[in-house]
Structure 1
């Protein structure tokens, strides 16, 4: 299941958030070689891990296998404060627009070839379910241009905000990707079921108490 972590319930997820920050460090510092993010304690935490961030964790048997972070476009975020050069026009801002960042999956649970892995499907489905319930229908993404076609195939409506530019050792393009219930249906069809992927807020509390 995908667990939504915010300041209201973060106290319930202390161990899982530690796992998430260490997963981020392994992926973005050790694998991608984003050495500017390196921390001696092996936890990748930045200025956007604040009270406005929404963390989404895929947890299986107490282990965090996938992670992503959502940031409101109405507050400072990566595109506005770190990578503004990726946007050639006025940056998209609105209550219905959030930025998708720090997506990462444990290596053993990633896709092989073009097929979306189960964990990746759950994370993307989590964004769409959360967005449909929260009045959000568009996400900002900084990504490898090769993801463009994949997002379109998943029934996101993608709009580049500028041309790809070199960031570190890879090409990165900023886009907006809008979604609706057709996007969720597409992800459900690929997954083979219509079950909700977001954990109910009280489910983790019950697990801790058991």
Structure 2
């Protein structure tokens, strides 16, 4: 199950908030080598954890198994203010265009083949499902070039926005993904799971933590 939380809702769950920022530091700093993000506390935060961000938390038995953050492009975001060298020309903007950032799967939950775990595929289904219910049909995502082909295989229309660059120990390319109901159906078929995965709001999540 994926919980879609506002920053305010996440702040009301301090244990989970700490888990989110610790996971982000573990993946993006320790694993991927983005040293500019390193902190002595082992928590990764940035200026985009603002009130309009939407946090997707994938939970397994009361534990944080995966995470991604959605940012509106109608205000400054990662591609426009930090990774601007990844975009040639004008960056896509609009109420229907959001940026997917900080996609992370905890090491203990990296099962599956071809580099896509069940948690990872649930996160993919989650942002498509969330987008279609929120008037969003395009996301900007900065990921490894091999994911462009994987996105096409999942029925996304994938358009690179610039040249690949090296960040830490990764090659990264900014890509605009367009999706629709067909995309969601293909993703669900690949997962062999057709039930919705997104839950809005944090109070059910708080109950989940208290019961675990």
Task: Give your verdict on TM over 0.5.
Answer: yes
2:139 equivalent to 1:161: no
Q: 1:170 to 1:7 in 2, by over 3 A?
A: closer
- What's the CA shift for 1:207? 3.9
Distance 1:209 1:18, change over 3 A: closer
Displacement of 1:14 in angstroms is: 2.1
Q: Following TM superposition, by how much is the alpha carbon of 1:205 offset from its aligned partner in structure 2, in angstroms?
A: 5.2
Segment drifting more, 166-175 vs 87-96: 166-175
Is this contact kept in 1: 2:101–2:141, CA < 8 A? yes
Post-superposition offset of 1:13:
2.6
- Partner of 2:81 in structure 1? 81
Please give the alpha-carbon distance, in whole angstroms, between the structure 1 residues aligned to 2:134 and 2:169.
35
DSSP-derived class of the 1:55 partner: strand
Cross-structure match for 2:199: 199
Specify the SS of the correspondent of 1:9. Answer: helix
Q: Kindly indicate whether the alpha-carbon contact (under 8 Å) linking 1:3 and 1:199 is maintained by their aligned counterparts in 2.
A: yes
Partner of 1:72: 72
| Structure-2 separation of matches of 1:51 and 1:108 | 30
RMSD over aligned Cα atoms: 1.7
When residues 37 and 128 of structure 1 are mapped into structure 2, their CA distance, relative to the original with a 3 A threshold, is same
What is the CA distance between 1:61 and its match in structure 2? 1.8
- The alpha-carbon distance between structure 1 residues 108 and 206, as it changes in their structure 2 partners (threshold 3 A), is closer
- State how 1:1-210 maps to structure 2 within 5 Å: 1-114=1-114, 116-201=116-201, 203-204=204-205, 206-207=207-208
Pairs aligned (count): 210
Distance in 2 (CA, whole Å) between partners of 1:100 and 1:45 is: 15
Unaligned 5+ segments in structure 2 are: none
Question: Residues 116 and 166 from structure 1, CA distance in 2 versus in 1: closer, same or farther, beyond 3 angstroms?
Answer: closer
Q: TM-score, normalised by structure 1?
A: 0.93
Q: CA deviation at 1:130?
A: 0.6
Query: 1:5·1:13 contact (CA, 8 Å) conserved in 2?
Result: no
Give CA-to-partner distance per residue, 1:19-58, whole Å, 9 cap, x none: 0110111111111111110111110111111112111000
User: Which range moved further: 105-114 or 149-158?
Assistant: 105-114
